[in-house]
Amino acid sequence: MSTEMLDRCVVRTNEAYLRIQELQLKEEKRISLVKSLIEENKIDISKDDKTENQIRNLLLLQKAKQKSELYKMDEKEINVTRVWCDLLISSVFSETISYGLMLRLVENGIVTESEISELLEDKYNIKKDYEWYSEDFMGCELDESTDIRIEDVWELCAERVEKVVGVKI
């Protein structure tokens, strides 16, 4: 009986390993396709610090992806791109994120509630978790400023966004 159990474990491990390999290959193909779309559409994704160029490049890339018959954008990628552009736009006018942007960052999985809680405590010495902090904004407009600095959000999640978008921003 234990031999059968071990055999099943080996089979399942091999199946899991194959799925992992398939997912890695799929991701490599997606990244390659994104790079070719960047080249085809002459999008300059050089390390440009100008916010307006980063926004333009992100939107041009999204447009190229949507036009492509080979590339299939999912809802998550569309939403993450939208929120990231909003974060970039916010950085032109403010040093902190708005309450509405904080909600959207969490809703779209760009940051977690616990990461916001840790950020509040570690960086700003605010001893409230995400839920409790959010309650402070009940009755406020979504554009109400929070204590969370945009640069801290960038540090926290830039790599995640780049992975979803398929290119280093």
Q: pLDDT band for position 50 (50/70/90)?
A: confident
Global model pTM greater than 0.85 = no
How many other CB atoms are there within 10 angstroms of residue 84's CB atom? 26
For the segment 158-165, the average pLDDT, to the nearest whole number, is: 92
Residue 45 in this model has a pLDDT that exceeds 90: no
Residue 1 in this model has a pLDDT that exceeds 80: no
- For 4-17, write each residue's pLDDT tens digit: 888 899 999 999 99
The upper half-sphere exposure of residue 7, i.e. CA atoms within 13 Å in the direction of its Cβ, equals: 4
Q: How far is CA 129 from the centre of its chain?
A: 22
Ranges 10-19, 37-46, 71-80, 110-119: which has the least confidence: 37-46
C-beta of residue 55 within 8 angstroms of C-beta of residue 87: no
How many other CB atoms are there within 10 angstroms of residue 36's CB atom? 14
Q: Residue 87: give the domain boundaries.
A: 2-165
Rounded-to-integer distance, Cα 75 and Cα 58, Å: 16
Q: What's the total number of domains in the chain?
A: 1
